Structure 1
């Protein structure tokens, strides 16, 4: 399942170079992941009911093109692979001209909220990912 959201770059996201600060892209990606979870019917409270949390353990991001004030950006999120307790979401950020602004692979792990240790992916989440090899 692929999910996209659109945002507009705001003045508070711009750094002294006149473009989006690199740290803001991580927020944009987080917003995209949150929307993916919601559309997968796995919002935060659903994980909590299962006694599970998701923890981001790695983000590999490529900054491709600067984004500036007022630009409309589309953040697209799609599942790419899963392990026993980990999963990877691929995310891309494109501008309104269709140019790639950034792309990332985000690895997360499911943990037991009480024990704070990794646990196998719940089937409800694993079902969105291709079988691991």
Structure 2
């Protein structure tokens, strides 16, 4: 039985990015390799960051991924078109927790993966946590 996506009750939707599944994304079991899910999420985050003035970084601060949680709900077969949905789960002083869902583009009730990624903004010189840039806070509705 395939899991159905829960209702999309997200605090603040950031972006939905369509991504085609490529043949090279498959593993020996003929479904998308688990590591590719991270690549899909990275692409969606980058597409969102392109909408943020200065991409949320400058000569002094930049975001890094501090943690990632992926719940693999069902395998993605080829051919397929998926959509990556990103939302704000938590807006902190130095970090942003981005919720994600990977769903079937033709049936958004089919959930392949969900979870979240924590991004922390760091001072490029010291490597220590830095304040979340105003442009990022504003882009997240905060």
TM norm structure 1: 0.88
What is the distance in 2 between the residues matched to 1:6 and 1:41?
A: 22
- The runs of 5 or more residues in structure 1 that have no matched partner are none
Other-structure match for 1:21: 33
Q: 2:97 aligns with which of 88, 96, 115?
A: 88
Residue 135 (structure 2) pairs with residue 124 (structure 1): yes
Write out per-residue CA displacement over residues 20-41 of structure 1, whole angstroms, 9 at most, x where no aligned residue.
Answer: 0000000000011111111233
Task: Give the CA deviation at 1:91.
Answer: 1.0
Residue 115 (structure 2) pairs with residue 104 (structure 1): yes
Task: Give the CA deviation at 1:2.
Answer: 2.4
**1:81–1:130 contact (8 Å) kept in structure 2:** no
**1:4–1:77 contact (8 Å) kept in structure 2:** yes
Q: Secondary structure at the match of 2:58?
A: helix
Task: Give the CA deviation at 1:63.
Answer: 0.6
Task: Give the CA deviation at 1:128.
Answer: 3.4
**2:57–2:133 contact (8 Å) kept in structure 1:** no
**Stretches of 4+ aligned residues off by more than 6 angstroms:** none
Other-structure match for 2:7: none
Residues 104, 91 of structure 1: alpha-carbon distance in 2 compared, 3 angstrom cutoff: same
Aligned-pair Cα RMSD in Å: 1.6
Residues 92, 55 of structure 1: alpha-carbon distance in 2 compared, 3 angstrom cutoff: same
Residue 77 (structure 2) pairs with residue 77 (structure 1): no
Of residues 8-17 and 118-127 in structure 1, the stretch that sits farther from structure 2 once superposed is 118-127
